[in-house]
C-alpha cells in the first residue's frame, strides 16, 4: 500500500516521529513517502492512506500544515487519513493541559474542515541544548510547573515510541481493511 506522511516541525521531534513511522511501515513492505510540509509535499491523490502530523508551538500548529490540509481538503476527506499532534502538554500530569491540547486539535480540524479517521496525541521533547537563554528559562519554568525535567544541561525526550508504533500499525491495518471493504 502507498502511504504518505506529511509533517510540520519546529524543533525536529515531529520529523523524528514521522521518520520512525516511515521505518515501521517500510518494515511491513509498504511504499512510504515522507515529506516536510514546508517543502511542497506531493498531493495525497496518488496514495491509499495519508498521515499528517504537526507540533504545537505558541498554541497553534505550523501554518504549512494548515495550508497543506486546506489545499488538499477534498482529497483528504475521501481517503483513510490520520492526524498526529506532538506537544509537551501530553507529557504533563495536569489533566487540564491534556484537555487544552485536545480542544486546540478539535478547533484546528473544525477550522480546516478536515475529518481524519484517527487523531492521536504524542508527547514531544524538551530540546534545552538548542534553546537560547530566554527560551531555556521559559521552557524550564513550564517543565517545573508540569512535572517535567528541569535539567537544562541536556535534552529530554518524552515520546512513547511503543504508542507511536501501535498507532501506525493499527492505522495501516484499518487502511487495508477500508480499501478492501
The boundaries of the domain holding residue 8 are 2-124+159-180
Q: Answer yes or no: do 153 and 169 share one domain.
A: no
Q: Answer yes or no: do 25 and 69 share one domain.
A: yes
pLDDT at 180: 55
Q: Answer yes or no: do 102 and 164 share one domain.
A: yes
What residue ranges of the chain have pLDDT lower than 50? none
Number of structural domains found in the chain: 2
pLDDT at 2: 94
Q: Answer yes or no: do 103 and 142 share one domain.
A: no
The CATH number of the domain where 116 resides is what? 3.40.50.360
pLDDT at 107: 96
Q: Answer yes or no: do 33 and 52 share one domain.
A: yes
Q: Answer yes or no: do 100 and 135 share one domain.
A: no
Per-residue b/e over 79-116, b at no fewer than 16 CB within 10 Å? bbbbbbbbbbbbbbeeeebbebbeebbeebeeebebeb
Q: Answer yes or no: do 91 and 67 share one domain.
A: yes
- Reported pTM: 0.90
Amino acid at each position: 500500500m502507498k502511504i504518505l506522511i506529511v509533517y510540520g516541525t519546529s524543533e525536529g521531534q515531529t520529523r523524528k516521529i514521522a521518520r520512525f513511522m516511515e521505518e515501521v511501515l517500510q518494515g511491513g513492505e509498504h511504499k512510504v513517502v515522507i515529506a516536510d510540509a514546508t517543502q511542497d509535499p506531493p498531493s495525497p491523490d496518488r496514495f491509499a492512506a495519508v498521515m499528517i502530523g504537526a507540533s504545537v508551538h505558541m498554541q497553534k500548529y505550523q501554518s504549512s500544515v494548515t495550508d497543506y490540509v486546506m489545499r488538499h481538503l477534498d482529497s483528504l476527506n475521501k481517503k483513510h487519513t490520520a492526524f498526529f499532534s506532538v506537544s509537551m502538554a501530553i507529557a504533563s500530569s495536569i489533566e487540564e493541559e491534556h484537555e487544552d491540547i485536545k480542544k486546540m486539535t478539535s478547533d484546528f480540524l473544525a477550522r480546516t474542515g478536515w475529518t481524519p479517521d484517527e487523531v492521536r496525541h504524542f508527547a514531544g521533547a524538551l530540546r534545552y541544548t538548542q534553546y537560547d537563554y530566554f527560551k531555556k528559562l521559559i521552557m524550564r519554568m513550564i517543565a517545573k510547573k508540569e512535572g517535567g525535567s528541569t535539567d537544562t544541561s541536556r535534552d529530554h525526550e518524552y515520546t512513547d515510541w511503543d504508542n507511536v508504533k501501535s498507532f501506525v500499525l493499527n492505522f495501516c491495518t484499518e487502511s487495508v481493511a477500508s480499501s478492501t471493504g
